[in-house]
Amino acid sequence: MDLKELTVKKLQQGLAEREFSAREVTDEFLKSIETKDGEIGAYLSVFNDEARKDAAAVDRKIASGERPSGLSGVPFALKDNMLVEGAKTTAASKILENYVASYDGTVVTKLKQGGAIILGKTNMDEFAMGSSTENSAFQKTKNPRDLERVPGGSSGGSAAAVAAGEALVALGSDTGGSIRQPAAFCGVVGMKPTYGTVSRSGLIAMASSLDQIGPFTKTVEDAEEVFRGITGRDPLDATSVEYHYESIEPEDARNLTVGLPKEYFISGLSEEVEKGVQSAIEKFKKLGVRFKEISLPHTKYALSCYYIVMPAEVSSNLARFDGIRYSRNVEAGTLHDLYLKNRGEGFGAEVRRRILLGTFVLSAGYYDAYYAKAQKVRRLIADDFDAVFEDVDVVLTPTTPTGPFKFGERSGDPIQMYLSDVFTIPANMAGIPAIAIPVEGDKKLPIGFQLMGKHFEEDKLFALGKLYESN
């Protein structure tokens, strides 16, 4: 048995039946990291001793008669913008390269309380700003399916870790597609929950009204199990909500109506992606799922709207990195010099670009012309979704317009890079749940399709995804 090929459900069964121990599973994944990650570069730090210690604790509980459940014994990787007490949390930025977290983020607390094993922290675009993980201040992460290509971003390290068998499950954060896009590029499942279902406490903020934590997994069933384990109201996050998730049977998904928005099947969509998504649609049709053409007319404004709202929130959130708190210990004669040296040298080019853009759209004389107008358009985008969900249960689209691109292919053109998220951004603007699922049977580069649902109707997304996988 190759322990790296386990799913969460099979892991739980194997632990309960004493086919293997949590320590053996953990050792297998740590060995995989040791042998593979020098080439792939998914991890920024690995918690060898802590992981083995936590695995031994799970084994002791099982030996005492406690039956494993939920996420107990499951080896996790965490994107390096989630705080783990006593561990470095860099957000892949030089400005935080020596920062050690003083507390656990809420999702980390939930994982630890559930008996999950945290293997380490994964690489990402600096402060989650990017679509290729090329913006990390420390290293480039390679796509396990083709080492000459990017794994997507900003959660590229987490996606690559699951795809390469260096973690059973990983968590990422999704602000405009940063879970779903790399999931599609690496051929794994990636899920962005409804805004507010998962606490953001202990997540280094990028754009607070858009950020959401979610899982990377091998299967939709595993994504559902992880989602169940990390949701819930948190007094430390005022935007979080009380949410008791209940699943529905995959067979019941045959009764759902799926919408196909004409605005997503447009010129610019690569032939391979269109063919792959159409094959998924045909498979659903054979399973009895009904389809209906719909329109989301304000979709064409989503990308432009996002690149006003997001940088505005970035400029505010990153103002805290002033050279005094989270200091890089730079020498400066004046306070002005301190700011210049700390922020000018600590932030990478993409982060500086977004701070400048965000400061501009919030400045006097431009606020109403840009930021206020973008917020009004954001409302129209959300209204579009509310309207179509009166007629359909779920919306199906491509996840990305193309497959994974090669290193350097888009890094010189920010606009081309931003277009990688053109199909994922609307879900963040509306705050609705969305999941990226790989197209089965593809022998070339990975391709994914996306399912989007109403607020707090993750159950329909998971049911449809499980129906697709099980047939």
Preceding amide of 64 cis, omega within 30? no
Which residues, listed in sequence order, are joined to residue 78 by a DSSP beta bridge? 121, 171
> Do residues 169 and 8 lie in contact, with contact meaning Cβ atoms separated by under 8 Å?
yes
Outline where 291-372 has alpha helix (H).
302-317, 335-346, 349-362
Q: Which residues of 154-171 are buried (b: 16+ CB within 10 A; e: fewer)?
A: bbbbbbbbbbbbbbbbbb
- Cβ-based neighbour number of residue 438 at 10 Å: 24
Which residue from 457, 417, 403 is spatially nearest to 187, judged by alpha carbons? 403
CA 262: distance to chain centroid? 26
The whole-angstrom separation of Cα 400 and Cα 403 is 7
Q: In which region does residue 399 sit, left (phi positive, over 0), alpha (psi from -120 to 50) or beta (all else)? A: alpha
Q: Any residues with CB less than 8 A from the CB of 90 and at least 6 apart, and which?
A: 44, 80, 96, 97, 99, 121, 137, 138
| Beta strand pairing call for 394-398 and 448-453 | antiparallel
Count of H-run helices and E-run strands, the chain: 15, 11
Which residues, listed in sequence order, are joined to residue 464 by a DSSP beta bridge? none
Q: Any residues with CB less than 8 A from the CB of 237 and at least 6 apart, and which?
A: 106, 199, 200, 201
Structure tokens at 203: 């997540």
Q: What stretch of H or E contains 214?
A: strand 213-217
Residue numbers annotated as active site: 79, 154, 178
Torsion on CA atoms 367, 200, 422, 164, rounded to nearest 10: 150
Q: Which residue has the tokens 């000459």?
A: 148
Strands, E, within 227-342: which ranges?
257-261, 290-294
CA 300: distance to chain centroid? 23
Structure tokens at 318: 């990153």
